[in-house]
Amino acid sequence: MTARKPLALGNWKMNGDMVANEQLMSGLLESSALLMTGGAIQAGFAVPAPYLFQAAVRLKGTGFLWGAQDCSDQANGAYTGEISTAMLQDFEAGFCLVGHSERRARHHETDQQIGAKLKALLAAGVMPVLCVGESLEQRESGLAVQVVCDQVLAALKGLKTEELVQLAVAYEPIWAIGTGKTASAADAQAMHAAIRQALGQLDAKAAGQMRILYGGSVKAANSAELFAQPDIDGGLVGGASLDVKEMTGILQAANTRAASLGLVQQNS
> Which one is catalytic: 100, 102, 134, 246?
100
Cβ atoms of 131 and 98 closer than 8 Å: yes
Query: In the annotation, is 172 catalytic?
Result: yes
Q: Which H or E run contains 150?
A: helix 144-156
Cβ atoms of 3 and 211 closer than 8 Å: no
The upper half-sphere exposure of residue 125, i.e. CA atoms within 13 Å in the direction of its Cβ, equals 6
Cβ atoms of 75 and 39 closer than 8 Å: no
Q: Please give the single-letter amino acid code of residue 59.
A: L
> Which one is catalytic: 109, 172, 192, 246?
172
Burial (CB count within 10 angstroms: exposed 0-12, middle 13-18, buried 19+), residue 94: buried
Distance CA 227, CA 243 (A): 19
Distance CA 73, CA 63 (A): 28
Burial pattern 121-158, b for ≥16 Cβ within 10 A else e, equals bbebebbbbbbbbbbeebbeeeebbebbbebbeebbee
Cβ atoms of 136 and 177 closer than 8 Å: no
Query: In the annotation, is 100 catalytic?
Result: yes
Active site residues: 100, 172
